[in-house]
């Protein structure tokens, strides 16, 4: 959750910088004077800017839109576009944070209990030791770790958010 707040704050900062650096000159009204001056339409003000400055405004706008799309993707799926493995996964109604990659021990990982899917990302199987039996009856008790296989004998461990104690 803290990472999501940081990502949104960074997006707000990027948009504010783009607005103050480029948009304020284009969209602000000309200063009032004692003499009556008709207001200049936005199109005329845009055309009065130099070509290089107009390009900079367009580039800043495109970057702001792309940044917003990437941040929205991250918040929706928990993975950056193009990343191989997510930073967190959901299983059993809980969030598991990414841990260390290590060699699989005997009995680890166990059975497939779900999948992580996101657009533009490889679908990954979620594995737990003990399989579905790790969820005890009708209780809310769930496993403390889930795994994603990263190689023939290596797994990436995801621990229950907040740790074990």
The answer to the question of residue 49 being in a domain is yes
Task: Please give the tally of structural domains in the chain.
Answer: 2
Structure tokens at 65: 């839109």
Among 77, 99, 131, residue at a domain's last position: 77
Tell me the CA distances in angstroms from 29 to 24, 59, 162, one per residue in order: 9, 22, 51
DSSP letter at 165 equals -
pLDDT band at 66 (very low <50, low <70, confident <90, very high): very high
pLDDT band at 165 (very low <50, low <70, confident <90, very high): very low
CB 73 within 8 A of CB 81: yes
Say yes or no: 92 and 150 in one domain: yes
Tell me the CA distances in angstroms from 40 to 21, 55, 56, one per residue in order: 21, 21, 22
pLDDT top residue among 6 and 85: 85
- Residue-range definition of the domain harbouring residue 71: 2-77
Q: Model's pTM, two decimal places?
A: 0.55
Say yes or no: 125 and 65 in one domain: no
Which pairs from 2-11 meet CB under 8 Å and 24+ separation?
A: 3/87, 4/74, 4/75, 7/71, 7/74, 7/75, 8/71, 8/75, 10/71, 11/67, 11/68, 11/71
Mean pLDDT across 156-163: 78
Say yes or no: 29 and 73 in one domain: yes
Say yes or no: 94 and 136 in one domain: yes
Supply the pLDDT for residue 133: 47
pLDDT top residue among 62 and 17: 62
Say yes or no: 96 and 129 in one domain: yes
The answer to the question of residue 50 being in a domain is yes
Supply the pLDDT for residue 84: 81
The per-residue pLDDT for range 70-115, each reduced to its tens digit, is 988 888 887 888 888 888 888 888 888 888 887 877 666 677 777 7
Say yes or no: 16 and 68 in one domain: yes
Percent of the chain beyond pLDDT 90? 5
């Amino acid at each position: 959750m803290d990472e999501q707040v940081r990502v949104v704050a960074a997006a707000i900062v990027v948009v504010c910088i783009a607005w103050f650096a480029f948009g304020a000159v284009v969209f602000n009204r000309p200063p009032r004077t004692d003499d009556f001056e008709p207001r200049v339409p936005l199109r005329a003000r845009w055309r009065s800017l130099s070509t290089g400055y107009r390009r900079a405004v367009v580039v800043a706008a495109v970057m702001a839109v792309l940044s917003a799309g990437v941040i929205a993707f991250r918040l929706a799926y928990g993975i950056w576009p193009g990343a191989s493995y997510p930073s967190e996964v959901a299983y059993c109604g809980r969030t598991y944070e990414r841990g260390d990659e290590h060699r699989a021990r005997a009995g680890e990982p166990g059975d497939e209990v779900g999948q992580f899917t996101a657009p533009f990302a490889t679908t990954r199987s979620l594995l737990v030791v003990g399989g579905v039996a790790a969820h005890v009856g009708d209780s809310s008790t769930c496993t403390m770790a889930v795994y994603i296989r990263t190689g023939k004998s290596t797994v990436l461990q995801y621990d229950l958010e907040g740790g074990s104690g």
